[in-house]
Structure 1
Amino acid sequence: MSKWRERLNEYDDEHRHMLEGGSISQLFLSYSLSFSNPVFVGIVYGIMINMTLLLPIFYEGNSNSEDPMEILQKWINQSVIILLLCAFLGAISTIISSLIRRPPIRLEKRRRYLYPLPFIGFLITTITIIFSTPEELKILGYFILIAPGPLYIQISYAPRWRMIERIDRDLDPFEGMKKTIYREINNDELSEQNFNELENVIEELDS
Protein backbone atom coordinates (compact mmCIF):
# COMPACT_ATOMS: atom_id res chain seq x y z
CA MET A 1 0.00 0.00 0.00
CA SER A 2 1.22 3.52 -0.81
CA LYS A 3 2.47 5.64 2.05
CA TRP A 4 -0.14 8.31 1.41
CA ARG A 5 -2.97 5.78 1.64
CA GLU A 6 -1.72 4.62 5.02
CA ARG A 7 -1.77 8.20 6.27
CA LEU A 8 -5.33 8.96 5.16
CA ASN A 9 -6.65 7.68 8.48
CA GLU A 10 -4.98 10.67 10.14
CA TYR A 11 -7.59 12.98 8.61
CA ASP A 12 -11.28 13.43 9.31
CA ASP A 13 -13.92 11.86 7.08
CA GLU A 14 -14.51 14.98 4.99
CA HIS A 15 -10.85 15.51 4.16
CA ARG A 16 -10.25 11.81 3.60
CA HIS A 17 -13.20 11.69 1.21
CA MET A 18 -11.86 14.76 -0.59
CA LEU A 19 -8.38 13.29 -0.94
CA GLU A 20 -9.60 9.93 -2.21
CA GLY A 21 -11.72 11.59 -4.88
CA GLY A 22 -14.30 10.00 -7.13
CA SER A 23 -14.06 6.88 -9.25
CA ILE A 24 -11.94 8.48 -11.98
CA SER A 25 -9.43 9.96 -9.55
CA GLN A 26 -9.25 6.67 -7.67
CA LEU A 27 -8.56 4.85 -10.93
CA PHE A 28 -5.55 7.03 -11.73
CA LEU A 29 -4.35 7.15 -8.13
CA SER A 30 -4.30 3.35 -7.98
CA TYR A 31 -0.98 3.66 -9.82
CA SER A 32 2.20 5.22 -8.50
CA LEU A 33 2.21 8.99 -8.10
CA SER A 34 4.79 9.27 -10.88
CA PHE A 35 2.47 7.64 -13.40
CA SER A 36 -0.63 9.36 -12.03
CA ASN A 37 0.93 12.79 -12.54
CA PRO A 38 -1.55 15.27 -14.12
CA VAL A 39 0.66 15.40 -17.22
CA PHE A 40 0.19 11.67 -17.84
CA VAL A 41 -3.51 11.90 -17.03
CA GLY A 42 -3.76 14.56 -19.73
CA ILE A 43 -1.96 12.24 -22.14
CA VAL A 44 -4.40 9.42 -21.36
CA TYR A 45 -7.31 11.73 -22.10
CA GLY A 46 -5.62 12.78 -25.35
CA ILE A 47 -5.23 9.13 -26.37
CA MET A 48 -8.94 8.53 -25.73
CA ILE A 49 -9.83 11.51 -27.92
CA ASN A 50 -7.54 10.35 -30.72
CA MET A 51 -9.01 6.86 -30.73
CA THR A 52 -12.54 8.24 -31.11
CA LEU A 53 -11.46 10.40 -34.06
CA LEU A 54 -9.84 7.53 -35.95
CA LEU A 55 -12.98 6.32 -37.73
CA PRO A 56 -14.34 9.77 -38.74
CA ILE A 57 -10.95 10.78 -40.17
CA PHE A 58 -10.62 7.54 -42.12
CA TYR A 59 -14.18 7.94 -43.37
CA GLU A 60 -13.41 11.43 -44.62
CA GLY A 61 -10.19 10.31 -46.29
CA ASN A 62 -11.86 7.35 -47.93
CA SER A 63 -14.65 9.60 -49.22
CA ASN A 64 -12.01 11.84 -50.79
CA SER A 65 -10.25 8.81 -52.33
CA GLU A 66 -7.10 9.45 -50.32
CA ASP A 67 -4.41 6.83 -49.89
CA PRO A 68 -4.77 4.89 -46.60
CA MET A 69 -1.22 5.79 -45.59
CA GLU A 70 -1.95 9.46 -46.16
CA ILE A 71 -5.05 9.18 -44.00
CA LEU A 72 -3.07 7.42 -41.29
CA GLN A 73 -0.38 10.10 -41.44
CA LYS A 74 -3.02 12.81 -41.11
CA TRP A 75 -4.48 11.06 -38.07
CA ILE A 76 -1.04 10.62 -36.49
CA ASN A 77 -0.16 14.29 -37.01
CA GLN A 78 -3.43 15.40 -35.45
CA SER A 79 -3.01 12.90 -32.61
CA VAL A 80 0.43 14.24 -31.74
CA ILE A 81 -0.92 17.79 -31.57
CA ILE A 82 -3.79 16.76 -29.28
CA LEU A 83 -1.47 14.70 -27.05
CA LEU A 84 0.99 17.56 -26.70
CA LEU A 85 -1.83 20.00 -25.97
CA CYS A 86 -3.38 17.80 -23.27
CA ALA A 87 0.03 17.08 -21.72
CA PHE A 88 0.90 20.79 -21.75
CA LEU A 89 -2.39 21.73 -20.10
CA GLY A 90 -1.81 19.02 -17.49
CA ALA A 91 1.61 20.49 -16.73
CA ILE A 92 0.13 23.99 -16.48
CA SER A 93 -2.51 22.69 -14.06
CA THR A 94 0.22 21.13 -11.92
CA ILE A 95 2.10 24.43 -11.76
CA ILE A 96 -1.03 26.45 -11.03
CA SER A 97 -2.13 24.10 -8.24
CA SER A 98 1.32 24.38 -6.67
CA LEU A 99 1.17 28.17 -6.77
CA ILE A 100 -2.45 28.76 -5.77
CA ARG A 101 -2.71 25.85 -3.29
CA ARG A 102 -6.45 25.45 -3.27
CA PRO A 103 -8.39 22.29 -2.41
CA PRO A 104 -9.84 20.11 -5.16
CA ILE A 105 -13.45 20.52 -6.20
CA ARG A 106 -15.44 17.30 -6.05
CA LEU A 107 -17.55 16.78 -9.15
CA GLU A 108 -20.30 14.43 -7.97
CA LYS A 109 -23.01 17.07 -8.31
CA ARG A 110 -21.45 18.63 -11.41
CA ARG A 111 -20.65 15.57 -13.49
CA ARG A 112 -24.03 15.67 -15.22
CA TYR A 113 -22.88 18.92 -16.81
CA LEU A 114 -19.26 17.98 -17.47
CA TYR A 115 -19.40 14.34 -18.55
CA PRO A 116 -21.71 14.72 -21.58
CA LEU A 117 -19.48 17.40 -23.13
CA PRO A 118 -16.94 15.04 -24.78
CA PHE A 119 -19.78 13.12 -26.44
CA ILE A 120 -21.35 16.36 -27.67
CA GLY A 121 -17.96 17.51 -28.93
CA PHE A 122 -17.37 14.18 -30.65
CA LEU A 123 -20.75 14.40 -32.35
CA ILE A 124 -20.10 17.94 -33.59
CA THR A 125 -16.56 17.06 -34.69
CA THR A 126 -17.74 13.96 -36.54
CA ILE A 127 -20.38 15.96 -38.38
CA THR A 128 -17.84 18.61 -39.37
CA ILE A 129 -15.39 15.96 -40.57
CA ILE A 130 -17.90 14.02 -42.65
CA PHE A 131 -19.94 16.92 -44.02
CA SER A 132 -19.01 20.31 -45.41
CA THR A 133 -19.51 22.70 -42.52
CA PRO A 134 -18.06 26.07 -41.51
CA GLU A 135 -14.57 25.95 -40.02
CA GLU A 136 -15.85 27.72 -36.91
CA LEU A 137 -18.13 24.78 -36.14
CA LYS A 138 -15.21 22.38 -36.42
CA ILE A 139 -13.17 24.48 -33.99
CA LEU A 140 -16.13 24.53 -31.59
CA GLY A 141 -16.45 20.76 -31.82
CA TYR A 142 -12.78 20.20 -31.05
CA PHE A 143 -12.96 22.66 -28.14
CA ILE A 144 -15.96 20.92 -26.56
CA LEU A 145 -14.30 17.55 -27.15
CA ILE A 146 -10.94 18.46 -25.62
CA ALA A 147 -11.87 20.95 -22.88
CA PRO A 148 -13.54 18.65 -20.28
CA GLY A 149 -10.38 16.62 -19.62
CA PRO A 150 -8.05 19.56 -18.91
CA LEU A 151 -10.86 21.26 -16.98
CA TYR A 152 -11.28 18.21 -14.74
CA ILE A 153 -7.53 18.09 -14.18
CA GLN A 154 -7.38 21.81 -13.40
CA ILE A 155 -10.21 22.08 -10.88
CA SER A 156 -10.17 18.62 -9.33
CA TYR A 157 -7.35 16.23 -10.10
CA ALA A 158 -4.21 18.41 -10.04
CA PRO A 159 -4.98 19.99 -6.63
CA ARG A 160 -5.75 16.52 -5.23
CA TRP A 161 -2.57 15.03 -6.69
CA ARG A 162 -0.48 17.88 -5.25
CA MET A 163 -1.84 17.30 -1.76
CA ILE A 164 -1.43 13.54 -1.96
CA GLU A 165 2.12 13.90 -3.27
CA ARG A 166 2.95 16.05 -0.24
CA ILE A 167 1.42 13.48 2.09
CA ASP A 168 3.54 10.80 0.44
CA ARG A 169 6.65 12.88 1.22
CA ASP A 170 5.57 13.32 4.87
CA LEU A 171 4.79 16.99 4.33
CA ASP A 172 1.75 18.94 5.45
CA PRO A 173 -0.68 18.92 2.49
CA PHE A 174 -2.50 21.98 3.83
CA GLU A 175 0.54 24.20 4.26
CA GLY A 176 -0.09 27.69 2.90
CA MET A 177 -3.77 26.99 2.18
CA LYS A 178 -6.39 29.52 3.28
CA LYS A 179 -9.11 26.91 2.83
CA THR A 180 -8.50 23.17 3.10
CA ILE A 181 -11.82 21.92 1.74
CA TYR A 182 -14.84 23.13 -0.20
CA ARG A 183 -17.85 22.03 1.79
CA GLU A 184 -21.07 21.33 -0.04
CA ILE A 185 -24.10 23.07 1.43
CA ASN A 186 -27.21 20.91 1.14
CA ASN A 187 -30.73 22.27 0.83
CA ASP A 188 -31.57 21.76 4.51
CA GLU A 189 -28.51 23.67 5.66
CA LEU A 190 -29.20 26.41 3.14
CA SER A 191 -32.83 26.72 4.29
CA GLU A 192 -31.76 26.87 7.93
CA GLN A 193 -29.15 29.50 7.10
CA ASN A 194 -31.72 31.61 5.24
CA PHE A 195 -34.19 31.22 8.12
CA ASN A 196 -31.61 32.37 10.66
CA GLU A 197 -30.74 35.37 8.51
CA LEU A 198 -34.44 36.25 8.25
CA GLU A 199 -34.82 36.01 12.03
CA ASN A 200 -31.87 38.35 12.50
CA VAL A 201 -33.39 40.89 10.12
CA ILE A 202 -36.74 40.77 11.95
CA GLU A 203 -35.04 41.23 15.32
CA GLU A 204 -33.14 44.24 14.00
CA LEU A 205 -36.38 45.78 12.70
CA ASP A 206 -38.15 45.21 16.04
CA SER A 207 -35.34 46.74 18.07
Structure 2
Amino acid sequence: MTRGWNHEVERIQELAKFLVELWDLMEMAIDERKAFSNVTRLISASVDEVSIRGCLSADVIKQVEVEVQRLNVLKASKMKELVFKRQNELEVIYKGDDMDVDSESARQIPTSLIESGNIDMSKLLQNMDDRIIKAKEQALSRRDILDRVEKWKFAVEEEIWLDAYERDENRYSAVRGAHNNLKRAEKARILVSEIQWKPVN
Protein backbone atom coordinates (compact mmCIF):
# COMPACT_ATOMS: atom_id res chain seq x y z
CA MET A 1 0.00 0.00 0.00
CA THR A 2 2.78 2.37 0.99
CA ARG A 3 4.73 1.58 -2.16
CA GLY A 4 1.65 2.20 -4.30
CA TRP A 5 0.91 5.41 -2.45
CA ASN A 6 4.47 6.65 -2.93
CA HIS A 7 4.17 5.88 -6.63
CA GLU A 8 1.01 7.98 -6.85
CA VAL A 9 2.75 10.86 -5.06
CA GLU A 10 5.68 10.67 -7.45
CA ARG A 11 3.28 10.58 -10.38
CA ILE A 12 1.34 13.70 -9.35
CA GLN A 13 4.58 15.55 -8.60
CA GLU A 14 6.01 14.57 -11.97
CA LEU A 15 2.87 15.77 -13.73
CA ALA A 16 2.95 19.01 -11.74
CA LYS A 17 6.54 19.62 -12.85
CA PHE A 18 5.56 19.02 -16.48
CA LEU A 19 2.75 21.52 -16.08
CA VAL A 20 5.03 24.21 -14.68
CA GLU A 21 7.64 23.60 -17.39
CA LEU A 22 5.00 23.91 -20.11
CA TRP A 23 3.50 27.02 -18.51
CA ASP A 24 6.89 28.69 -18.28
CA LEU A 25 7.90 27.66 -21.78
CA MET A 26 4.62 28.86 -23.27
CA GLU A 27 4.55 31.97 -21.06
CA MET A 28 1.07 31.17 -19.84
CA ALA A 29 -0.77 33.89 -17.94
CA ILE A 30 -1.25 33.55 -14.17
CA ASP A 31 -5.02 33.23 -14.58
CA GLU A 32 -4.56 30.20 -16.81
CA ARG A 33 -2.50 28.47 -14.13
CA LYS A 34 -4.85 28.95 -11.20
CA ALA A 35 -7.01 25.91 -11.94
CA PHE A 36 -4.09 23.61 -11.12
CA SER A 37 -2.37 25.65 -8.41
CA ASN A 38 -3.45 23.08 -5.80
CA VAL A 39 -1.50 20.45 -7.75
CA THR A 40 1.65 22.45 -8.47
CA ARG A 41 1.98 23.20 -4.76
CA LEU A 42 2.69 19.50 -4.28
CA ILE A 43 5.96 19.52 -6.24
CA SER A 44 8.11 19.85 -3.14
CA ALA A 45 5.61 18.41 -0.66
CA SER A 46 6.28 15.29 1.40
CA VAL A 47 4.15 12.15 1.14
CA ASP A 48 2.38 13.03 4.40
CA GLU A 49 1.61 16.56 3.19
CA VAL A 50 0.14 15.22 -0.03
CA SER A 51 -2.02 12.84 1.99
CA ILE A 52 -3.32 15.68 4.16
CA ARG A 53 -4.16 17.87 1.17
CA GLY A 54 -6.08 15.06 -0.49
CA CYS A 55 -4.92 15.70 -4.05
CA LEU A 56 -4.31 12.13 -5.12
CA SER A 57 -7.74 11.10 -6.28
CA ALA A 58 -7.94 9.34 -9.63
CA ASP A 59 -10.00 12.23 -11.00
CA VAL A 60 -7.37 14.82 -10.06
CA ILE A 61 -4.55 12.81 -11.60
CA LYS A 62 -6.61 12.27 -14.76
CA GLN A 63 -7.37 15.99 -15.03
CA VAL A 64 -3.69 16.86 -14.78
CA GLU A 65 -2.76 14.21 -17.36
CA VAL A 66 -5.35 15.60 -19.78
CA GLU A 67 -4.07 19.15 -19.24
CA VAL A 68 -0.47 18.11 -19.87
CA GLN A 69 -1.55 16.37 -23.08
CA ARG A 70 -3.54 19.43 -24.15
CA LEU A 71 -0.61 21.77 -23.60
CA ASN A 72 1.74 19.46 -25.47
CA VAL A 73 -0.60 19.63 -28.47
CA LEU A 74 -0.73 23.43 -28.24
CA LYS A 75 3.00 23.80 -27.68
CA ALA A 76 4.12 23.96 -31.32
CA SER A 77 1.62 26.65 -32.32
CA LYS A 78 2.25 28.58 -29.11
CA MET A 79 5.99 28.43 -29.70
CA LYS A 80 5.55 29.83 -33.20
CA GLU A 81 3.47 32.64 -31.73
CA LEU A 82 6.13 33.48 -29.14
CA VAL A 83 8.97 33.27 -31.65
CA PHE A 84 7.13 35.48 -34.16
CA LYS A 85 6.35 37.94 -31.38
CA ARG A 86 10.05 38.23 -30.68
CA GLN A 87 10.81 38.37 -34.40
CA ASN A 88 8.38 41.27 -34.76
CA GLU A 89 10.15 43.05 -31.93
CA LEU A 90 13.47 42.55 -33.71
CA GLU A 91 12.08 43.90 -36.97
CA VAL A 92 10.69 46.98 -35.23
CA ILE A 93 14.13 47.66 -33.75
CA TYR A 94 15.87 47.17 -37.10
CA LYS A 95 13.39 49.24 -39.09
CA GLY A 96 13.42 51.98 -36.48
CA ASP A 97 17.10 52.47 -37.22
CA ASP A 98 16.85 51.91 -40.98
CA MET A 99 18.70 48.61 -40.74
CA ASP A 100 18.06 46.12 -43.54
CA VAL A 101 16.23 42.94 -42.57
CA ASP A 102 14.76 40.14 -44.69
CA SER A 103 11.57 39.45 -42.73
CA GLU A 104 10.55 36.39 -44.74
CA SER A 105 13.91 34.64 -44.37
CA ALA A 106 14.16 35.65 -40.72
CA ARG A 107 10.80 34.00 -40.02
CA GLN A 108 11.44 30.90 -42.10
CA ILE A 109 14.48 29.80 -40.11
CA PRO A 110 12.79 29.52 -36.67
CA THR A 111 9.66 28.10 -38.30
CA SER A 112 11.68 25.28 -39.86
CA LEU A 113 13.41 24.60 -36.55
CA ILE A 114 10.10 24.39 -34.69
CA GLU A 115 8.48 22.13 -37.27
CA SER A 116 11.50 19.80 -37.33
CA GLY A 117 11.04 19.07 -33.64
CA ASN A 118 14.83 18.95 -33.26
CA ILE A 119 15.21 22.14 -31.27
CA ASP A 120 15.07 22.92 -27.57
CA MET A 121 12.31 25.53 -27.51
CA SER A 122 13.51 27.18 -24.33
CA LYS A 123 16.95 27.63 -25.91
CA LEU A 124 15.39 29.00 -29.10
CA LEU A 125 13.41 31.60 -27.14
CA GLN A 126 16.49 32.46 -25.09
CA ASN A 127 18.44 32.89 -28.32
CA MET A 128 15.74 35.24 -29.60
CA ASP A 129 15.84 37.22 -26.36
CA ASP A 130 19.63 37.51 -26.64
CA ARG A 131 19.28 38.76 -30.22
CA ILE A 132 16.76 41.38 -29.09
CA ILE A 133 19.14 42.62 -26.39
CA LYS A 134 22.00 42.76 -28.90
CA ALA A 135 19.82 44.54 -31.48
CA LYS A 136 18.81 47.15 -28.91
CA GLU A 137 22.45 47.72 -28.00
CA GLN A 138 23.39 48.05 -31.67
CA ALA A 139 20.49 50.43 -32.30
CA LEU A 140 21.51 52.57 -29.34
CA SER A 141 25.12 52.62 -30.52
CA ARG A 142 24.01 53.44 -34.06
CA ARG A 143 21.84 56.32 -32.86
CA ASP A 144 24.71 57.60 -30.74
CA ILE A 145 27.05 57.53 -33.74
CA LEU A 146 24.52 59.26 -36.00
CA ASP A 147 23.87 61.87 -33.34
CA ARG A 148 27.58 62.55 -32.98
CA VAL A 149 27.98 62.76 -36.76
CA GLU A 150 25.16 65.31 -36.97
CA LYS A 151 26.68 67.37 -34.18
CA TRP A 152 30.06 67.20 -35.85
CA LYS A 153 28.61 68.27 -39.23
CA PHE A 154 26.80 71.16 -37.57
CA ALA A 155 29.99 72.18 -35.76
CA VAL A 156 31.92 72.13 -39.06
CA GLU A 157 29.26 74.30 -40.70
CA GLU A 158 29.37 76.72 -37.79
CA GLU A 159 33.16 76.77 -37.90
CA ILE A 160 33.07 77.69 -41.60
CA TRP A 161 30.50 80.40 -40.90
CA LEU A 162 32.53 81.70 -37.95
CA ASP A 163 35.68 81.84 -40.04
CA ALA A 164 33.89 83.89 -42.70
CA TYR A 165 32.28 86.06 -40.03
CA GLU A 166 35.59 86.88 -38.36
CA ARG A 167 37.08 87.90 -41.70
CA ASP A 168 34.21 90.31 -42.27
CA GLU A 169 35.51 93.79 -41.45
CA ASN A 170 31.97 95.10 -41.07
CA ARG A 171 30.87 92.51 -38.53
CA TYR A 172 30.65 95.07 -35.73
CA SER A 173 28.82 97.69 -37.74
CA ALA A 174 25.33 98.70 -36.71
CA VAL A 175 23.64 96.88 -39.56
CA ARG A 176 20.43 94.96 -39.23
CA GLY A 177 21.03 91.52 -37.77
CA ALA A 178 24.47 92.35 -36.40
CA HIS A 179 23.37 91.59 -32.84
CA ASN A 180 22.07 88.17 -33.85
CA ASN A 181 25.31 87.46 -35.68
CA LEU A 182 27.28 88.34 -32.56
CA LYS A 183 25.20 85.91 -30.49
CA ARG A 184 25.63 83.22 -33.13
CA ALA A 185 29.37 83.80 -33.20
CA GLU A 186 29.57 83.38 -29.42
CA LYS A 187 27.68 80.10 -29.59
CA ALA A 188 29.75 78.94 -32.56
CA ARG A 189 33.02 79.56 -30.71
CA ILE A 190 31.76 77.52 -27.74
CA LEU A 191 30.52 74.72 -29.98
CA VAL A 192 33.71 74.52 -32.02
CA SER A 193 35.84 74.48 -28.88
CA GLU A 194 33.76 71.81 -27.15
CA ILE A 195 32.88 69.39 -29.93
CA GLN A 196 35.06 66.31 -29.95
CA TRP A 197 34.88 63.81 -32.72
CA LYS A 198 36.15 60.40 -31.71
CA PRO A 199 36.02 57.56 -34.27
CA VAL A 200 34.03 54.59 -33.00
CA ASN A 201 35.74 51.22 -33.28
Higher helix share: 2
TM category (shorter chain) comes to 0.3 to 0.5
TM-score by length of 2: 0.32
TM-score by length of 1: 0.31
Greater length-normalized contact order (CA 8 Å, ≥ 6 residues apart): 1
